[in-house]
C-alpha cells in the first residue's frame, strides 16, 4: 500500500503595503491564475487529493480555493512558516490516502528535499518557487510511518512550466 503527497508552495502573493500583516497577504493576479492552472494540471494528471492540510495564511487558503478540489481541508497555524520537522509531524497526523499540503518557503523546499529518495531533474526543485508542486508516493500504509528519504517522485512542476 502507498500514500501520496501533493506538496505545493502557495502561489504568487501580493506585496501591497496596505495588507495588515504577512499572514494576511492575498494572492496577486498572476498567483490566482497560476493556482487555477495548477489545479487543472493536477486533475489532468489524475493527481486528486482526498484532503488538504494547509497553513492558515490567506495566500495558502486562496491557493487551496483556486486549485478547485472539493475535499475536506484543515487550515492550521502550525503550518504557517513551518520548518520540516513541523510539517512532518502534521502530515503524520493525516489519515487520507492522498494529502495535498500547502505551505511556505524556506520550510517547504527543505521538507521536499528531505522527503525524497531521489530528487527530480527539474532546475527549480531546490529553490521551490511559488506554486511549485511535487507529487510523491511513499511505501507506507499509514502516514504515521512516514520517514525522511523514502519518497518516490511521481511528478514536479512550477507554474512557469504551464505557461511556456
Q: Is the pTM of this model over 0.95?
A: yes
Please report the pLDDT score of residue 91 as a whole number: 97
Please report the pLDDT score of residue 45 as a whole number: 98
- Residues 153 and 136 sit within 8 Å (Cβ to Cβ): yes
Q: How many CB atoms lie within 10 A of CB 53?
A: 26
The 10s digit of each residue's pLDDT in 54-89 is 999 999 999 999 999 999 999 999 999 999 999 999
Q: Residue 7: which of 120, 95, 112 has the closest Cα?
A: 112
Strands 3-9 and 133-138: antiparallel
Neighbouring residues of 5: CB distance < 8 A, sequence distance ≥ 6: 91, 98, 99, 101, 115, 134, 135, 136, 137, 138, 151
Please report the pLDDT score of residue 16 as a whole number: 78
Residue 15 has pLDDT above 90, yes or no: no
> What's the topology of domain 3-163?
Rossmann fold (3.40.50)
The 10s digit of each residue's pLDDT in 103-141 is 999 999 999 999 999 999 999 999 999 999 999 999 999
Residue 161 has pLDDT above 90, yes or no: yes
Please report the pLDDT score of residue 163 as a whole number: 78
Q: How many CB atoms lie within 10 A of CB 61?
A: 19
Residue 64 burial (C-beta neighbours within 10 Å; 0-12, 13-18, 19+): buried
Number of H helices, E strands in the chain: 5, 6
Please report the pLDDT score of residue 80 as a whole number: 97
Report CA-CA distances (Å) from 127 to 29, 64, 75: 22, 21, 24
Please report the pLDDT score of residue 164 as a whole number: 65
- Residues 22 and 42 sit within 8 Å (Cβ to Cβ): no
Please report the pLDDT score of residue 41 as a whole number: 98
- Residues 71 and 52 sit within 8 Å (Cβ to Cβ): yes
The 10s digit of each residue's pLDDT in 24-63 is 999 999 999 999 999 999 999 999 999 999 999 999 999 9
Amino acid at each position: 500500500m502507498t500514500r501520496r503527497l501533493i506538496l505545493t508552495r502557495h502561489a504568487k502573493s501580493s506585496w501591497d503595503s496596505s495588507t495588515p500583516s504577512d499572514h494576511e497577504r492575498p494572492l496577486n493576479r498572476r498567483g490566482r491564475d497560476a493556482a487555477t492552472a495548477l489545479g487543472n494540471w493536477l486533475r489532468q494528471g489524475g493527481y486528486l487529493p482526498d484532503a488538504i492540510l494547509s497553513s492558515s495564511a490567506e495566500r495558502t487558503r486562496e491557493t487551496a480555493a483556486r486549485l478547485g478540489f472539493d475535499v475536506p481541508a484543515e487550515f492550521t497555524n502550525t503550518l504557517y512558516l513551518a520548518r520540516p520537522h513541523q510539517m512532518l509531524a502534521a502530515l503524520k497526523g493525516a489519515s487520507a490516502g492522498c494529502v495535498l499540503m500547502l505551505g511556505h518557503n524556506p520550510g517547504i523546499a527543505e521538507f521536499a528535499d528531505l522527503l525524497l529518495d531521489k530528487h527530480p531533474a527539474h532546475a527549480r526543485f531546490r529553490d521551490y518557487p511559488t506554486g511549485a508542486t511535487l507529487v510523491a508516493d511513499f511505501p507506507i500504509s499509514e502516514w504515521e510511518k512516514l520517514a525522511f528519504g523514502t519518497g518516490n517522485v511521481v511528478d514536479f512542476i512550477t507554474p512557469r512550466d504551464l505557461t511556456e
